[in-house]
Structure 1
Amino acid sequence: MLNTTEPISFEPNNSIGCPVPVKVRYPSIIGIDLAVPQWEAIIVTVILTVIILLTIVGNILVILSVFTYKPLRIVQNFFIVSLAVADLTVAVLVLPLNVANMMIGRWEFGIHLCKMWLTSDVLCCTSSILNLCAIALDRYWAITDPINYAQKRTVERVLLLIAGVWILSFVISSPPLIGWNDWPEVFDSEKHPCALNSNPGYRIYSALGSFFIPLVVMTIVYIEIFIATRRRLRERARASRINAINLKSTGKEHVTAQQDQESISSETNHNEHPHVSDATAHTKNLEKISRKEKRNKAKDSLKKGEKNAEKLIPPHIVREDSITDIHDDLAEHRKGSHGNDHPTTIANVKEMKKLSIQTDIDKKQNNVYAFIEEKQKISLSKERRAARTLGIIMGVFILSWVPFFLLYIIQPFCPTCCPSDQLIDFLTWLGYSNSMVNPFIYTIFNLDFRRAFRRRLMCISKQNSRY
């Protein structure tokens, strides 16, 4: 412990080949020499602690939501739980010790804890990335082959895939424990930092398995998901348009068929009763019209007496104000005597019925067109939202991990590449931050997760208010 306020310096051994920087030590109120000034250590520690707490709280909420909220207890969400467990282990096993190592500037916890910490770092981060890859593959199979995959997506199969993710993560992280490393035999915190294995062969092996291969898989899979989703939405919009066209043509055929049927019926009635008087024939036609209307087959009046009957029709009988009036006229004709029944009244009724049918068809067509237009807007909105979601997922993942893994893979092969400790720490925590944002990215676009989060937080706030 130093009682002076003046920093002192020492020159640690550098195993990579870069010029040895001068390390400066700063005293602190807790009696531990720090690698940074005390004010800077406080600010950085507070920021990193907030990141750790958000990572822990967010991933615990995800796990609790899946197991306590019934709509989320579905088999595909087990991948989300596995991802949350991996990110939670990062926050609990890796991040706190990293903060201590950064602030102190050297490893003060012994070689065995150093090996455990480094192995946990690679294991948990690799598992997090591979779980993201498994989620991408699960979504790809569910979209491209929904029927068959729905039968294959059993609890046993999903748990087997999750177990495979963790086993592969252990295979990638464990070789340094059995000798594939450059760790010193005798560890001295003043001379040897607790750092990731810098063996070039292992770095290529671990970087490919932990990041670059999953990155390629995720990129291809999400592109295929986007294309498949876009194609499906367009096919649905095309099918809606075809249905509308068919509905329109069906309506026209219905009107044409009804008109043809009415014409045929009128001619048939005229030929069947050549010697019957107009009133008698007209009464029979009314009875036939009543029967045909029940089958949606209207009949026209006799053409033979229409011209003679026009002169006998009182003006007040023909009313064309509304569809209700038309039905009233038809009822009067059915109840009236033969002397007051006239073919022209029936013709007017039929004309109004034709007009009413055509109006109904036009309304239906307008409704269909409006529905198709609205559905197309919804499809475009879904397409844009899917593209935005996939873009956010891939963008955050790439932004978080690409800088770190580029430095990780380049550093052993570039002796003259000597990044500062501050840059290394920043890129490392940029990758760690992916564990913080994962629970929010993969749940914020899901309404059930938002509801579950809201319920859980409300329960916590109510419990706190009681105390």
Structure 2
Amino acid sequence: MEGADGSEELLDWEALYRSPVQNSSFNTTDWVTNAWNTSVANTSWLDESAPFDSASALLRAAAKAVLLGLLILATVVGNVFVIAAILLERHLRSAANHLILSLAVADLLVACLVMPLGAVYEVAQRWTLGPELCDMWTSGDVLCCTASILHLVAIALDRYWAVTNIDYIHARTARRVGYMIVCVWAVSFLVCIAPLLGWKDPDWDRRVSEDLRCVVSQDVGYQIFATASSFYVPVLVILILYWRIYQTARKRIRRRHGTTTRGVGPPPVPAGGALVAAGGSGGIAAAVVAVIGRPLPTISETTTTGITNVSSNNTSPEKQSCANGLEADPPTTGYGAVAAAYYPTLIRRKPKEAADSKRERKAAKTLAIITGAFVACWLPFFVLAILVPTCNCEVSPVLTSLSLWLGYFNSTLNPVIYTVFSPEFRHAFQRLLCGRRVRRRRAPP
């Protein structure tokens, strides 16, 4: 009985609920259905494009976030150290190092403005920050990365002029280097501003709003202009400059060797701006010693006693060991080899000259490695950048991401290279980390 009464009561409530709906022109059932469908349509992207649909996907995303975060941190710390070393160490404030300072600033901007948003985009696998921020991010990417690349061209030009023009070392002023830096940033700004002024492909808005992908303008004309300005022309200029430097080195060495074999006499050693290159059939690649803000050291020929006198009241322990009579290894290349062939007695270099020669060789090696690292890091990205819009090829997203982050990695490599291969920067970093302790260890007793 109670069950029957309960059923009748439920039916009465259902009838009471249905009667207004059925008697009115407003269909509540249809309204609820439409609202539900609209809600599902508006939120369906969460299910369709969510990258974290499983525990393994979430783990991969977390690992990727940690890895990219460490890469960004390393880039920031390394370039901050380079900037601090140049600003705080007086002997690093040369006009030539202003170019390296500006390069470090460009790399630091890559780490602070470009890589963080790139990491968010990479981990989320979609762009949800809107077209305006996408425009800002891609423009900042082009600006900072192009500036980083063009600084390498400016550094190569500076070395080329220093090598081929002896007077350039004295004419290299902060104002002249400043003009070069302004030109680098001006060209970079012109390359990045074009998409903001409307030079975009027709699908750009749809790609950002619907496909949730944020990439720079894929207009073929812009890509040809941007890739040529940012990579292909700079690479060509750098290769030509270093080839000319190598040719100059080989020509000078052959001239000196020719003079020696003809018995004319010992060749004069240039006072500054000279190149010393490795000879031999297999040693051509070791060839260039660049000039870093001062003339290359001359080599002191021995006197009739075979000993070069050295006197200094303030020398480092390394210099004191030379002053105490330790012999330097006999030179086998360049002007030293020619002089050694003429003088059977031992050739000893002055301590400062030996240290400067070692410094110049390591600086040249550093520049060569920086250039090689730049080409290796950026070549895959720029090949894809010109290939995709011209042939409408489908490239794997993984390959696209790897090429992009390999390019960003070049901004991480530069300060590492300075640390490993440049004694001046390495000692400056040690002093920044350890304070006066390093300075006191290097001071004379």
Q: TM-score, normalised by structure 1?
A: 0.60
Partner in structure 2 of residue 394 of structure 1: 371
1:428 corresponds to which residue? Answer: 404
Q: Matched residues in 2 for 1:207 and 1:175: separation?
A: 13
Name whichever of 226-235 and 124-133 sits farther off.
Answer: 226-235
Per the TM alignment, residue 214 of structure 1 is displaced from its structure 2 partner at its CA by: 0.3
* Structure 2: distance between partners of 1:164 and 1:385: 28
Residues 384 and 458 of structure 1, relative CA distance in 2, 3 Å threshold: closer
Structure-2 residue corresponding to 1:299:
none
1:163 to 182, 197, 201: 182
Larger Rg: 1
Taking the aligned partners of 2:260 and 2:159, their CA distance within structure 1 comes to: 26
Structure 1 residue 393: deviation in Å? Answer: 2.8
Which string of whole-angstrom CA distances, capped at 9 and with x for unpartnered residues, describes residues 382-431 of structure 1?
Answer: 9986875454233211110111000000101122x211111100000001
Give the residue type in structure 2 aligned to 1:431.
Answer: G
Q: 1:24 to 1:246 in 2, by over 3 A?
A: closer
Query: Is the Cα contact below 8 Å between 2:220 and 2:389 reproduced in 1?
Result: yes
- 1:151 aligns with 170
Instruction: Out of 225-234 and 174-183, give the one that drifted further.
Output: 225-234
The answer to whether 1:69 aligns with 2:89 is yes
Tell me, in whole angstroms, the C-alpha distance in 2 between the residues paired with 1:240 and 1:67.
Answer: 46
C-alpha distance 102-382 of structure 1, shift in aligned 2 (>3 A): closer
Deviation at 1:228?
2.7
Check whether the contact 1:443–1:449 (CA below 8 A) recurs between aligned residues: yes
Match among 132, 136, 141 for residue 112 of structure 1: 132
Q: Which amino acid aligns with 1:201?
A: G
Structure 2 Cα separation of the partners of residues 194 and 456 of structure 1: 40
- Equivalence for 1:368: 343
Q: Partner residue of 1:25?
A: 51
2:380 maps to 403
Counterpart of 2:51, as a letter, is R
User: Aligned match of 2:429 in 453, 460, 464?
Assistant: 453
Are 2:199 and 1:180 equivalent residues in the alignment?
yes
Residue 44 to residue 185, structure 1, CA distance change in 2 (3 Å): closer
Mapping for residues 177-256 of structure 1, pairs under 5 Å:
177-182=196-201, 184-185=204-205, 189-232=209-252
Distance 1:145 1:167 in 2: 27
Distance 1:153 1:28 in 2: 60
Change (3 A) 1:72 1:230: farther
| Gap regions ≥5 residues in structure 2 | 1-44, 268-339, 439-445
| Cα distance change of structure 1 residues 232 and 440 upon mapping to structure 2, 3 Å threshold | farther
Contact 2:260 2:266 in 1 (8 A): no
> Contact between 2:89 and 2:428, CA under 8 Å: does it hold in 1?
yes
Distance verdict in 2 for CA 1:37–1:123, change over 3 Å: same
Equivalent-residue separation in structure 1 for 2:172 and 2:263 (angstroms):
34
Query: Which fold has the larger relative contact order, with Cα–Cα distance below 8 Å and residues 6 or more apart in sequence?
Result: 1
How far apart, in 2, do the equivalents of 1:399 and 1:133 lie?
Answer: 16
The Cα offsets for residues 196-225 of structure 1, whole Å up to 9 and x where unpaired, read as: 111110000000000000000001111222
Contact 1:106 1:189 in 2 (8 A): no
Do the aligned partners of 2:153 and 2:238 also contact (CA within 8 Å) in 1? yes
Change (3 A) 1:205 1:45: same
Q: Structure 1, unaligned stretches of length 5 or more?
A: 1-6, 11-22, 30-35, 248-364, 463-467
Shift of 1:229: 3.6
Shift of the 457–175 alpha-carbon distance from structure 1 to 2, 3 Å rule, reads same
Alignment-derived partner of residue 143 in structure 2: 123
Deviation at 1:146, TM superposition (A): 2.2
2:99 matched to 1:79? yes
* TM-score using structure 2 length: 0.63
**Aligned equivalents of 1:67, 1:241: Cα separation in 2:** 49
Task: Pick closer, same or farther for the CA change 1:142–1:442 going to 2, 3 Å.
Answer: farther
Distance apart, 1:151 and its partner CA:
3.4
Contact 2:419 2:426 in 1 (8 A): yes
Kept in 2, the 8 Å contact 1:133–1:218? The answer is yes
Q: CA offsets per residue over residues 99-129 of structure 1, 9 Å max, x none?
A: 1001111112222111110100000000000
Q: Structure 2 counterpart of 1:445, which letter?
A: F
SS of residue in 1 equivalent to 2:217: coil
* Number of the residue aligned with 1:441: 417
Q: Would the aligned equivalents of 2:149 and 2:230 in 1 still touch at CA under 8 Å?
A: yes
Deviation (angstroms), 1:436:
0.7
* Counterpart residue identity of residue 93, structure 1: L
Could you tell me how far 1:374 is from its partner in structure 2?
A: 9.7
Alignment equivalent of 1:135, drawn from 146, 149, 155 = 155
Determine the C-alpha separation between the residues in 1 that align with 2:213 and 2:189.
23
Code of the aligned partner of 1:128: S
| Structure 1 position 71, deviation (Å) | 1.0
Contact 2:149-2:231 at 8 Å conserved across structures: yes
Given that 1:226 and 1:387 are in contact with CA atoms closer than 8 Å, whether structure 2 keeps it comes out as no
- SS in structure 1 at match of 2:94: coil
- Deviation of residue 152 (structure 1)? 2.6
Q: Is the 2:79–2:107 Cα contact (8 Å) retained in structure 1? A: yes
**For residues 369 and 206 of structure 1, what CA distance do their matches in structure 2 show?**
58
Decide whether the 8 Å contact of 2:147 with 2:185 is kept in 1.
yes
* Distance in 1 of aligned mates of 2:359 and 2:435: 33
Paired AA for residue 413 in structure 1: T
Change (3 A) 1:187 1:231: closer
Distance in structure 2 (CA, Å) of the matches to 1:189 and 1:151: 56
Q: How many residues are aligned here? A: 318
**Offset, 1:150:** 2.2
Distance 2:400 2:372 in 1: 21
Shift of the 44–161 alpha-carbon distance from structure 1 to 2, 3 Å rule, reads same
Q: Calculate the aligned-residue CA RMSD, in Å.
A: 3.8
Q: Which amino acid aligns with 1:66?
A: I
